[in-house]
Amino acid sequence: MRRISVALLTAAATAGLVLTGAPSSSAAALVKSCSTSDGGATGGMQWDWNSKKSMDVALLLADTDADSNWVRIRLDITTGQGDRYTYKWHELRDGNGSNKTWTTTATHDDGIVSARVQVEDVHGTSPQSTCYSGKAYNSYY
């Protein structure tokens, strides 16, 4: 299962590079990811720091189990004030084997010291399993 998860995440990451607004190709090798312990979801991020307060980020998500669950991902940052801030969830409800990439620019007035993703496997409205990727630290600090 782990090899399948990594392959799906790699495919999603590759797809993210061709989307408008995706992190630059120099960020292609920079991926932080995790897989839920129940094997249902794999997610990660690619990023490129713009400044102390801004980053381009691609959120990569794959549903990796044939169950009735759906999966979601969000960006989780630590601000320049040391506070934790989480962005909105991005959901994938297309079932096992599906994957999706969302690209955006994340900003925070207090700065972004570090960023990671939170990934969940959800049944109905109840999270079944969650994981956090490793943190990416802002090179402008």
Query: Residue 15 has what pLDDT?
Result: 40
How many CA atoms lie within 13 Å of 119's alpha carbon, on the beta-carbon side?
30
9: helix, strand or coil: helix
Tokens linked to 45: 């991020």
Q: Between these two residues, 15 and 43, which has the higher pLDDT value?
A: 43
pLDDT of 54 higher than 80: yes
- Which pLDDT band holds residue 30 (cuts at 50, 70, 90)? confident
Burial-class residue 125 by CB neighbours within 10 Å (0-12, 13-18, 19+): exposed
Q: Is the pTM of this model over 0.85?
A: no
Tokens linked to 134: 């490793």
Strand residue runs (E) in the chain: 31-35, 41-51, 54-63, 70-79, 84-86, 90-92, 99-107, 112-123, 126-132, 136-137
Query: Residue 56 has what pLDDT?
Result: 98
Query: Residue 19 has what pLDDT?
Result: 34
Residue percentage of the chain with pLDDT more than 70: 79
pLDDT of 68 higher than 50: yes
Q: Quick: pLDDT tens for 96-139.
A: 999 999 999 999 999 999 999 999 999 999 999 999 999 999 99
Strand residue runs (E) in 87-134: 90-92, 99-107, 112-123, 126-132
123 vs 125: CA distance, rounded Å: 6
- Which pLDDT band holds residue 18 (cuts at 50, 70, 90)? very low
Query: Residue 13 has what pLDDT?
Result: 44
Q: For tokens 């993210």, what's the residue?
A: 16
Domains of the chain plus CATH, in order, are: 32-137 (2.60.40.10)
Tokens linked to 110: 């207090």
Average pLDDT over residues 6-30: 47
Strand order in the sheet with 41-51: 31-35, 41-51, 54-63, 99-107
